[in-house]
Amino acid sequence: MYETILYDQKDSIVTVTVNRPDKLNALSRKVVAELTAAFGTLTKNGARAAILTGAGDKAFVAGADIKEMSDLTTAEAKAFSDAGHALGYAIELAPCPVIAAVNGFALGGGCELALACDFIYASDNARFGQPEVNLGLMPGFGGTQRLARRVGLGKARELVYTGDTIKAPEAEKIGLINGVIPQADLISHVRGIAEKIAQKAPLAVAASKRVMARAADSDLVVANELEASAFSALFGSEDMREGTQAFVDKRPAKFLGK
């Protein structure tokens, strides 16, 4: 189905792998298009959690495909940036959580790709950064915005303006990632978290994701109104009735996503 990515589903967990290890999984226009298409299939495939990673042991995504990008016209560059933003939205608006398993370099577009995910775990050899200023450019896939929302405006400015890269422990310290895992254990660790999420009520998880994303930049009153509306809507679901009855019966709930 895809030429530059791998799409694997086991039970209700999808793993999407950028599969260009010889190019350090760089983001070409084709990779961006295929990733966007892949995350658009999660609903119909019944996914309850997704993992995004890169092939090999050197890079998650080392950045955009510089050779391809260097020849873009201004109009083509705008289209490429728009496509990158569409990919970010496809991940953020996916009906289930998307976990980034960063197994090496996550630079430029790779860092931006990880930032679009719900949370990030990284191997102990991972490095993060927005080094676009070294190329006479700036982040174009949401890095100036999502990075600031994740680590704060001051630290984001420092990373964007200097183009510095940071190692995984520092990325964890500043709140960019959720944890540092030994390289050999990264995927199994992330899959364990995905499996835990997949056991929960999918409508409730999806509603929580949707409200947290939409309300992030709202004032507290508006944000709480969004929460209250989503909370009350879940009372019309079969999963809510199953979950509460299972609690009363002291048995595991069997959620169907209905």
Catalytic residues: 112, 132
Report the Cα–Cα distance between both ends of the chain, in Å, rounded: 29
Question: How far is it, in rounded angstroms, from Cα 111 to Cα 55?
Answer: 16
Contact criterion met (CB below 8 Å) for 238 and 202: no
Tally Cβ neighbours within 10 Å of residue 257. 16
Please list the alpha-helical segments (H only) found in 163-219: 168-173, 186-198, 202-214
3-state secondary structure 139-165: CCCCHHHHHHHHHCHHHHHHHHHHCCE
Question: How far is it, in rounded angstroms, from Cα 237 to Cα 215?
Answer: 23
Dig out the tokens for 110 from the structure: 């790779």
Name the nearest CA neighbour of 106 among 93, 83, 88, 123: 123
Which amino acid makes up residue 110? G
The most distant pair of C-alpha atoms in the chain lies apart, rounded to whole Å, by 64
